[in-house]
Structure 1
């Protein structure tokens, strides 16, 4: 099942290190079959507010996403980003193609009834 690296980036400060990070990150992703799905375009805010931008990188599975994040190649460049951009990064498993939110609702109802 696909997994994702999701970043919510705030308070970006332009810096030469950020450009270097952008130039080097794809080489860290390629061995792990990671690719950008979203990379910080302006978002249309339909509800609420969203300070900052988002990045979404897809991986074949959660173990591969973890391996990329912990890889020496990525760890060698991470400070280029974190020293100049405040944000959060999550590694999260996606849902399968047959995901049905009604099944989740049924499980939540059963849990609530058992409490």
Structure 2
């Protein structure tokens, strides 16, 4: 089964309030097996437009990624994020097919 991913691009306008979101999302992320692959590290926008933070979170499956977003625990965390930031989030299924050179 392919993994699931959250890909988020975020501008934080209230860093103190955003810390509440980070604390609140931990319960849902733990419950659904989330693992941060990218968490606001150094980046360079080479095409298009961007936000200041980029985040990629891996889940054991696409269904787990969707379930986490829709969970009561994450719904509570969203309120903190929406008050402190603006962003874009896509949930995508991973790819397990052939790769270049296969």
TM range (shorter): 0.7 to 0.9
Structure 1 position 51 matched with structure 2 position 51: yes
Measure, in 2, the Cα distance between the counterparts of 1:69 and 1:19.
18
What's the TM-score once normalised by structure 2's chain length?
0.84
Tell me which residue corresponds to 1:29: 29
Higher percent of residues as helix: 1
Q: How many Å apart are 1:101 and its aligned residue?
A: 5.7
Q: CA, structure 1 residues 51+100, in 2 after alignment: closer, same or farther (shift >3 Å)?
A: same
The answer for unaligned runs of 5 or more in structure 1 is 103-115
Asked if 1:99 is matched to 2:98, the reply is: yes
Q: For the aligned residues, what is the CA RMSD?
A: 1.9
Aligned residues: 99
Pairwise CA distance, 1:92: 0.1
Please, what TM-score do these two structures have when normalized by structure 1?
0.76
Residue 112 (structure 1) aligns with: none
